[in-house]
Every structure is written in structure tokens, then in C-alpha cells.
């Protein structure tokens, strides 16, 4: 919102948003997340698979790198402040990209528990694109859980891959593009 934090203020002298700023911004989104994670770990210390998964996810979630400042500022202004995605018209590279011009098969993958990109923020995309084959895949997962973890490997990723397979164009030799 206007009057709140200016994304440009987070850019340091190197032209990047420091990794610790990114990590802490995710913590602000879920203030009790660390406590919940530790409680879940405590309750599952007997489960070697849970502990291994917890260690992997914890290491991965804390392994941030600096984010390019100009991209951060532009993303914040366009998609958060100006909410251009809701209009279906996105300024990009000196021109406006109209989502209605997308006529190839389109899939919108939504994590129903995503607190980074909430479902309400992207659900309208299938109505904004011009494709006759616009679909939505919804999964009971968070932002990271869509792609990481056992459930993602067993269920979500195979469904996404199946969608891609159905909408791929056959190449010579039987492969698909």
C-alpha cells in the first residue's frame, strides 16, 4: 500500500536486497512459523523420516541469496502495489503484455495454503487469458509444498507433468516438446 515500506529502501549498496532481509520478510508473513516448526519437530523426534525432511526443509528455507534490487522494486510496484495482474495487462520490456493474447494451453497451479501468493491473488488468471484450454490445478499445499516434499513428489508434480504431457506437441522420434 502507498505510504508503507518503499521496496527501493530495501536495496543495499550492491544493488541487491540482502538475503537476511528476504528471510526476515518471510518470517513476518508467518510470525509463529518457527515456533510451529519446532513444536512439530518435537512431536515427531521419534520419526527419522520426519526429522530428515524437517532438516532438509529448514536448511533450504534459510538458504537465501541476495535478490536483484531492480527486479524486486519492479515486482513490488507492478504486482503488489499496482496489482496489474488483475487487469490482465502487464507492462514488460517497454510494452504492455495482454494476458488475453495468450492462446496456447494454459494452466494455473494454485496452492490452497499458499501465504506468499494467496489463491485469491491468482485464481482469476484462467479468465484473463485468451486460451480456450485454460485450466486450474489446485492442491492443498503451501507455496513451497507444491514442489517440495513427499506429497508433491507423489501427487502434485505427477499431475502437473500429466497436464504438460497432454498439452505437449509431438516431435520427431516420439518425443514431446
Q: Which residue has the cell 491473488?
A: 121
pLDDT of residue 176: 63
- C-alpha cell recorded at residue 122: 491468482
Distance separating alpha carbons of residues 97 and 91, to the nearest angstrom: 6
Comparing C-alpha atoms, which of 23, 96, 122, 16 is closest to residue 7?
Answer: 16
State whether residue 138 is helix, strand or coil: strand
In tens digits, the chain (177 residues) has pLDDT values of: 566 778 899 999 999 999 999 888 888 878 888 898 899 999 999 999 888 888 887 887 788 899 999 999 998 888 888 888 888 999 988 899 999 999 999 999 999 999 888 999 888 999 999 999 999 999 999 988 898 878 889 999 999 999 999 998 876 666 666
Q: For residue 117, give the H/E element and its range.
A: none
| pLDDT at residue 170 in the model | 75
* This model's pTM is above 0.85: no
Would you state the pLDDT for residue 175? 65
Element (H, E) at 71: helix 69-75
- Three cell numbers written together for 132: 480456450
CB of 144 closer than 8 Å to CB of 109? no
Amino acid at each position: 500500500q502507498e505510504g508503507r515500506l518503499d521496496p527501493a529502501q530495501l536495496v543495499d549498496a550492491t544493488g541487491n536486497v540482502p538475503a537476511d532481509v528476504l528471510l526476515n520478510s518471510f518470517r513476518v508473513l508467518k510470525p509463529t512459523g518457527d515456533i510451529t516448526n519446532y513444536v512439530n519437530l518435537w512431536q515427531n523426534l521419534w520419526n527419522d523420516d520426519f526429522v530428515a525432511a524437517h532438516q532438509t526443509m529448514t536448511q533450504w528455507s534459510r538458504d537465501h541469496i541476495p535478490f536483484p534490487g531492480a527486479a524486486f522494486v519492479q515486482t513490488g510496484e507492478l504486482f503488489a502495489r499496482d496489482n496489474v495482474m488483475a487487469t490482465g495487462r502487464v507492462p514488460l520490456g517497454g510494452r504492455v503484455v495482454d494476458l488475453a493474447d495468450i492462446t496456447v494451453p494454459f494452466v494455473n497451479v494454485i496452492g490452497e495454503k499458499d501465504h506468499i501468493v494467496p489463491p485469491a491473488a491468482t485464481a482469476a488468471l484462467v479468465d484473463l487469458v485468451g486460451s480456450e484450454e485454460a485450466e486450474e490445478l489446485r492442491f492443498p499445499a503451501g507455496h513451497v509444498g507444491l514442489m517440495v516434499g513427499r506429497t508433491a513428489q507423489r501427487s502434485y508434480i505427477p499431475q502437473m507433468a500429466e497436464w504438460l504431457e497432454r498439452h505437449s506437441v509431438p516431435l520427431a522420434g516420439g518425443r514431446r516438446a
